Structure 1
Amino acid sequence: MSEMSERTVTVTCPSGPLQVRTWQAGEPGWVALIAHGYGEHSGRYRWVAEQLAREGAAVHAPDHVGHGGSPGERALLTDAETVVADLECVRETAAREHPGLPLVLIGHSLGGMFAVRYAQEYPQHLAAIVLSAPVLGTWHVLDLLEYSEIPDTPIDPQALSRDPEVGRAYLDDPQVWHGPFKRRTLQAIERCLRAINHGPALRAPTLWLHGADDDLVPEADTRTGVDAVRGSRMHEHIYPDARHELFNERNRAEVLGDVLSFLNRELARTDTTRGKS
């Protein structure tokens, strides 16, 4: 087995000099771009990135502006379109390093919202999309905008996973934002969801994953958004008893297996199409 290589680099994007983690094992055959969720950072995706790299991916995972090691006021997102432009910037960097390789976009939670908006704006770059508990359709957190002062409603770590170690690590992580939502962030999310709901259907083959016991981003709310952008090649897996962070859940090996089965099938189709062109 090839030795795993992990690097942290800085990529100058529309939001500024973003921190990007990369993983690779041997000569890659495809590129995976990971968009993390609200208040966290790309380092929390180390396990899944390493598994993808061992399956032939060159993994690139930026910290969004205001998150992790990237600059900006913590957990402040003033415009989701800028985050989408940042993802395109990171994609361009990955494409220069790995020219001609197919791209898979993986988005979790709020990163899933960014991934869908990216797919609407840059469909030509995508071989496949994986959405893990994406914020789509409606989101109950936006109800906080009704308050004149946003109340501090921290995320319950027990809602992340049935594995209590996941919640403890989340609480102890200094790069995770544990403060209240910011009004401008919620307003940016609301605008992005509206744009997605009125945007085009997804053209790339898409795998939607969700936990049936996800209280942070309920599956029923997300389904309204999925139905709004559902393309002809949409697949889904709803996992009984699973909570929000499927790549950190007790059945994460099952989840990863479903992801790899989907990607192997779709990337094989991409290779066949290239061979005919």
Structure 2
Amino acid sequence: MGFSERQIHASQTGAALCMRHEPASDGAIGVIHILHGLAEHSERYDAFARQLSQSGFHVYAHDHRGHGFTEAPGAPLGSFDSGGEGARLVLADIASIHDHVADAHPGLPVLLFGHSMGGTIALRYAFEHPESLTGVAAWNASLITGLLGRAGMWILAWERFRLGSDVPSRLLPRLTFGEWAKSVKSRRTEFDWLSRDPAAVDAYVADPLCGWPASVGMWRDVQEMALTVTDMTNAPEAARRLPWHLLGGGRDPATMFGKAVTAQVNRMRAAGFDDVTLELLPEMRHETLNEIDRDEAIAPLIRWFTAKAVSQASV
């Protein structure tokens, strides 16, 4: 069964998670779990999964609740959970996948990869479950803090009061997707900020499971997780000992053109994180995996994954 074929994983939360698995092509050295971003789904990582498989990794990915083909109680498309437990349930779904991985591949090191919102979730999961991981890569995570981050929470609190949690946010898409679109002056579409590759942008625009409006509650859950992982007092000692690989693009408006990623790395290093790699790619937009020169970023990442997996196996 290849990555493009959907499996159903029954999460302990009651969700029927759409899960994908690309087996290691030969001689597995580890497992990589991919966490996708906001308003997209796991199938978009097919090419990346095949590259990882060819490098000796079993690859897993799933559609988060409220995304793609996953079905979960109280989580229609665009909402993690109507009961206000979205962040907790998203993390519990990941833990459920990891229980499955541990049964299927006992003894193999497990590494986590997250893009954008998935990067934020990867950080949050690793802060809570560092003992279960060998390393974490968070790419293009929009870790906006300070007044901007707090302002986002104030806006969402006002929208929740006026509109409720389960309806699409009216203001956050304008302040995020809308403003990010404006960063590309000669844009063909409103999603050119994702990549300089027209084919990748067109595929995103044409995909009915991409680009939809997230609910007030989902935006709130994501922003709350971002604020949590940028506060280093929330990081346990075991998380500080993990290897980390953070990447940002110099033309990615979602990360303040890489500044938010650099700021996170600086916070982590100042807090005593031992092994933090920072990659800043000046010409990259938001979806590094779908950029025109994506292999320039992917090759070093695979070498990093391989080194961490082999190092763990030798312990």
TM-score, scaled to structure 1 = 0.89
For 2:182, the equivalent position in structure 1 comes to none
Q: Deviations over 1:208-256 (max 9, x none)?
A: 1111100123221233334334411000110011000011111111111
For 1:69, the equivalent position in structure 2 comes to 69
Residue-pair matches, total: 269
Q: Structure 1 pair 129/50, CA: closer, same or farther in 2 (3 Å)?
A: same
SS, match of residue 216 in structure 1: helix
Distance in 2, Cα, partners of 1:207 & 1:190: 21
* Deviation (angstroms), 1:69: 0.5
Q: 2:287 aligns with which of 219, 232, 245?
A: 245
SS, match of residue 112 in structure 2: strand
Instruction: Please report the RMSD computed on the Cα atoms of aligned residues, expressed in angstroms.
Output: 2.1
For 1:224, the equivalent position in structure 2 comes to 263
Distance in 1, Cα, partners of 2:222 & 2:14: 17
Q: Structure 1 pair 15/161, CA: closer, same or farther in 2 (3 Å)?
A: farther
For 2:7, the equivalent position in structure 1 comes to 9
AA in 1 matched with 2:225: C
For 2:135, the equivalent position in structure 1 comes to 128
Structure 2 counterparts to residues 145-160 of structure 1, below 5 A: 145=156, 150-151=170-171, 153=174, 154=177, 156-160=190-194
Distance in 2, Cα, partners of 1:80 & 1:135: 16
For 1:263, the equivalent position in structure 2 comes to 305
**For the Cα contact (< 8 Å) 1:15–1:86, is it kept in 2?**
no
Q: Deviations over 1:31-54 (max 9, x none)?
A: 000000001000011111110011
Instruction: Work out whether 1:199 is the aligned partner of 2:227.
Output: no
**For the Cα contact (< 8 Å) 1:136–1:223, is it kept in 2?**
no
Q: 2:246 aligns with which of 193, 198, 208?
A: 208
Instruction: Work out whether 1:235 is the aligned partner of 2:277.
Output: yes
% same residue: 28
- Larger deviation, residues 200-209 vs 223-232: 223-232
**For the Cα contact (< 8 Å) 1:243–1:249, is it kept in 2?**
yes
- Unpaired runs of 5+ residues, structure 2, are 164-169, 179-189
- Unpaired runs of 5+ residues, structure 1, are none
Distance in 1, Cα, partners of 2:76 & 2:304: 37
AA in 1 matched with 2:259: A
- Larger deviation, residues 224-233 vs 41-50: 224-233
Distance in 2, Cα, partners of 1:228 & 1:96: 35
**For the Cα contact (< 8 Å) 2:29–2:310, is it kept in 1?**
no
**For the Cα contact (< 8 Å) 1:18–1:64, is it kept in 2?**
yes
**For the Cα contact (< 8 Å) 1:23–1:60, is it kept in 2?**
yes
AA in 1 matched with 2:234: G
Instruction: Work out whether 1:170 is the aligned partner of 2:169.
Output: no
Distance in 1, Cα, partners of 2:100 & 2:31: 11
TM-score, scaled to structure 2 = 0.79
SS, match of residue 2 in structure 2: strand
**For the Cα contact (< 8 Å) 2:33–2:61, is it kept in 1?**
yes
Q: Structure 1 pair 15/215, CA: closer, same or farther in 2 (3 Å)?
A: farther
* Deviation (angstroms), 1:19: 0.5
For 2:167, the equivalent position in structure 1 comes to none
Distance in 1, Cα, partners of 2:225 & 2:198: 33
The runs of 4+ residues in structure 1 deviating greater than 4 Å are 146-149
**For the Cα contact (< 8 Å) 2:39–2:67, is it kept in 1?**
yes
